[in-house]
Amino acid sequence: MSEMKGAGAPAVPGAEGHRSRMRARLLKAGPDALADHEVLEMTLFLALPRRDTKPIARALLARFRSFAGCIAATPHELREIEGLGEAGIAALKTIQAAALRLMRAEVIDQPILSTWQRLMEYLTAVLARERIEHFRVLYLDTRNRLIADEAQGRGTVNATPVYPRELVRRALELNATAVILVHNHPSGDPTPSQQDIQMTRAIRSAAEPLSVLLHDHIIIGNARWVSLRQEGLI
């Protein structure tokens, strides 16, 4: 539904006082002072200032079950929420983008081994809820610091085209000496397929002659991940 419906009407009486109290609580006590539905209300109010955003926030949580689920939902899914509209959808996706940038800032330019858990949390946030396969490459320098995290491609519900020569060429452009491959399994099961293993070995074969080490290949599933190196598959 479009946010234009009822856009010219004033907010429901009492809504402004409710928002003022939430703003005061947020500024005085910090982000943890607000419940998930209140954070959604405040976010949507910025995009829909003349709407009572509480019912929309409640509908979002009923549909997507969590705050993370709400901001990670696709625009197509979000359009099914009555009263949300394009402005509200854009507000939620902006929050998602900001959250991912904050998480990425904690691992970029840092040694991978000392930030491994935070790196996995970031990659899970980026990929775990995706409905199709996405393939990313983490490029590392000589001290195993993350210097770039780039999307290599996206595919279907169970496959993503990957081109080893392009990956290696990009590593050389960045002066990267090692890479970590990352992709998701939309099924939620991160168990490596035979195709995953073969693709990993093809990339290793293309990278090693040019002194680019394949450090690992991480597969992200639903609430868990698998390292091909830890599984002895590299």
pLDDT tens string 4-23: 444 444 445 567 788 889 88
Q: How far apart are CA 85 and CA 55, in angstroms?
A: 14
Fold of 111-227: Cytidine Deaminase; domain 2 (3.40.140)
State how far the Cα of 209 lies from the Cα of 38, in Å rounded to an integer.
54
Stretch 100-105: mean pLDDT: 92
The closest of 102, 80, 132 to 70, measured between CA atoms, is: 80
Is-above-0.95 flag for pTM? no
- Of 179, 169, 185, 176, which is closest to residue 204 (Cα–Cα)? 179
Q: Quickly state the pLDDT bin for 53 (edges 50, 70, 90).
A: very high
Percent of the chain surpassing pLDDT 70: 91
For residue 160, the model assigns a pLDDT of 63
| Mean per-residue pLDDT, 184-202 | 94
**Every domain of the chain and the residues it spans:** 15-103, 111-227
